[in-house]
Amino acid sequence: MKYLTEFRNGEVAQRIAREIHQVATRPWKIMEVCGGQTHSIIRNGIDQMIPAGIEMIHGPGCPVCVTPLNLIDKALAIASQPGVIFCSFGDMLRVPGTDRDLFQVKGNGGDVRVVYSPLDAVELAVRNPDKQVVFFGVGFETTAPANAMSVHLAKRRGLKNFSVLVSHVLVPPAIEAIMSSPGNKVQAFLAAGHVCSVMGYWEYPPITEKYRIPIVVTGFEPLDLLDGIRRAVIQLEKGEYRVENAYERIVSFAGNLPAQQLLSEVFEVADRAWRGIGVIPKSGWRLSAPYREFDAEERFQISGIHTEESPLCKSGDVLRGAIKPAECPAFGKECTPRHPLGATMVSSEGACAAYFNYGRFLSAEDLAHAGAALTGVANG
């Protein structure tokens, strides 16, 4: 428990917050890239400890949230096929596709299973040679090494009944896309510490140079986040822009080299669609040619899917940092964790779920409504 208590010390948090108040002379807009950081900021009230003028903008860093609807619809179509065992992490089961979710496919007789590791899916394939086992491989650079390892292992074992529906996205191109977007408001980034634990932060200095923007590699505990904000504000106030590593206990400049080697063997960089954002060039991975036989999209050749986003859902605006979740008209009304309209309300890293679960941003009327919905969740 040492690391947890050490980075949750209230007195130290107050001291860092006071320092931020002393340093900040102007309003600044800082984006935390990762949804895990968003939850920690809201849960710990960090946005309320810092000066009112420093706005935390919530970035697109939730793997479930950015998986495009079309791919979720493909997952639903594959999972519905007879003879398929469809494996996913739990969050994905409740993400709405155009007209249903994986839970409903399961309820209708589909063999949909929650796994805790892609390697479990490989084992399922070994034990069920008469079935096609498909793993939904979503995520940023953080989860990609385990998914790459599962494909590597399947190839080594000569499995013909294992495949991965790949939806891997990469953080640096997303930062560039946000900085290049016409209405961009972001003036500094807190980079996601767990992504950097795999990839290091050697990709970031050219971005800080190109956009003249501070990037601080930041962890997830309250003191990590306050320290990341403090460092970003100091740079902004001085007019500096460079990469700083505020997560040295986990992250090195070079990152995890064996993991990066495995990733570059199993995957190749490709253009990727991000839900609510659109296609970002070279922002994702797909299986490389030697491993393409394990690509579920190639194996199942699903076509003719009709994909339609909920007209009520503003998750694209939330993911771009253009609006806060509570500014969505459906927030806490038509859309709750029990009846989510968008992935940002479903995912444990989703910004809408963070705002809803910690409920500080609702009107009294909305709080009563949300309270009823939460009771429903607790009883559900």
Q: Which residues bind ligand SF4 (CB under 6 A)?
A: 312-315, 318, 325, 328, 330-331, 335, 340-342, 344-345, 352
Considering the complex, what minimum distance in angstroms separates the CB of residue 322 from ligand SF4?
A: 11
Considering the complex, what minimum distance in angstroms separates the CB of residue 192 from ligand SF4?
A: 21
Considering the complex, what minimum distance in angstroms separates the CB of residue 356 from ligand SF4?
A: 7
Q: Given the complex with ligand SF4, which of 196 and 346 has the nearer CB atom?
A: 346
**Pair 245, 183: CB distance under 8 Å:** no
Amino acid at 263: L
Q: Given the complex with ligand SF4, which of 285 and 331 has the nearer CB atom?
A: 331
Cα(293)–Cα(7) distance, integer angstroms: 45
Helix, strand, coil percent content, the chain, rounded in steps of 5:
45, 20, 35
Considering the complex, what minimum distance in angstroms separates the CB of residue 215 from ligand SF4?
A: 27
Q: Given the complex with ligand SF4, which of 97 and 342 has the nearer CB atom?
A: 342
**Pick from 85, 98, 66: nearest CA to 126:** 85
| HSE (side-chain half, CA atoms, 13 Å) at 330 | 19
Q: Given the complex with ligand SF4, which of 32 and 224 has the nearer CB atom?
A: 32
Q: Given the complex with ligand SF4, which of 78 and 351 has the nearer CB atom?
A: 351
Q: Given the complex with ligand SF4, which of 76 and 352 has the nearer CB atom?
A: 352
Cα(38)–Cα(249) distance, integer angstroms: 21
Considering the complex, what minimum distance in angstroms separates the CB of residue 317 from ligand SF4?
A: 7
Q: Is 193 exposed, middle or buried (0-12, 13-18, 19+ CB in 10 A)?
A: buried
Q: Given the complex with ligand SF4, which of 286 and 314 has the nearer CB atom?
A: 314
Considering the complex, what minimum distance in angstroms separates the CB of residue 66 from ligand SF4?
A: 13
Q: Which long-range contacts (CB under 8 A, 24 or more apart) does 343-346 make?
A: 343/62, 343/64, 343/65, 343/66, 343/67, 343/95, 343/96, 343/275, 343/315, 344/62, 344/65, 344/315, 344/318, 344/319, 345/315, 346/64, 346/91, 346/94, 346/95, 346/96
Considering the complex, what minimum distance in angstroms separates the CB of residue 170 from ligand SF4?
A: 24
Residue entry with tokens 């495995």:
262
